[in-house]
Amino acid sequence: MYFIIETNETVRVPPEHLGEEYEATAKSIAVKNVEGKIGVLDRDIVRDANDRKYINLLVMESDLDGEGRIVHGDGGVYQEVKMKILAFQPMMQEVVEGDVADVKKFGAFVSIGPLEGLLHVSQVMDDRIEVDEENKRMTGKDTKRDLKTGDLVRARIVALSLSDSKLEESKIGLTMRQNFLGKFSWLKGEAK
């Protein structure tokens, strides 16, 4: 699920950047500190910890909030920056679309927004599957359907574990073994 969130970030502007470019520098530091990082929503009632976590994709707007503060013994200025951010929060059972980024012996990695989800070989289709890792392709033995890198697919999130700090440590499990899920060319065939 994508949504827009408004938040404040306190940034330290180093002393060498105090001057004409102060505002642009403060905004730039805030964007660097926020984009691509995991955030936590302020919710009291949640089912589990994953319900509160989201990924900051893009800072859409940023403005300085008041004047900066100087801390004794530190030459930098601490500045509040108000931001409007486009965020992504993967949810259990959510249907997502993405492209196949890589094919391995154990499954395929699908790019969904800023993350990659694992589509285990057992969750690709109701068929026995041959994996051609060299050509980055999976083929159903009976149906002859194939899945390769670059294919656009629709899948459902069935496992979710977002890291507290590093986006790269987050894990998402996917399935395409349900009606109306799969490679887009397969879905066109189902509609006929």
Higher-confidence position of 54 and 153: 153
CATH C-level class of 95-191: mainly beta
Give the mean model confidence (pLDDT) for residues 152-178.
90
Query: Do residues 180 and 154 lie in contact, with contact meaning Cβ atoms separated by under 8 Å?
Result: yes
Q: CATH number of 2-88: 3.40.50.700, 3.40.640.10, 3.30.1490.120, 3.40.50.300? A: 3.30.1490.120
pLDDT digits (tens, 9 = 90+) for 23-55: 999 999 999 999 988 888 765 555 555 567 888
The model's pTM: 0.77
Q: Is the pLDDT of residue 185 over 80?
A: yes
Residue 87 half-sphere exposure, CB side, CA atoms within 13 Å? 22
Q: Is the pLDDT of residue 136 over 80?
A: yes
Q: What is the pLDDT of residue 111?
A: 94
How many beta carbons lie within 10 A of that of residue 20, not counting itself? 8
Domain boundaries, given as residue ranges, for the chain: 2-88, 95-191
pLDDT digits (tens, 9 = 90+) for 97-132: 999 999 999 999 999 878 899 999 999 999 999 999
**CA 129 to each of CA 78, 100, 154, 158, 179: distance values in angstroms, whole numbers, following the listed order:** 57, 16, 19, 21, 19
Higher-confidence position of 134 and 52: 134
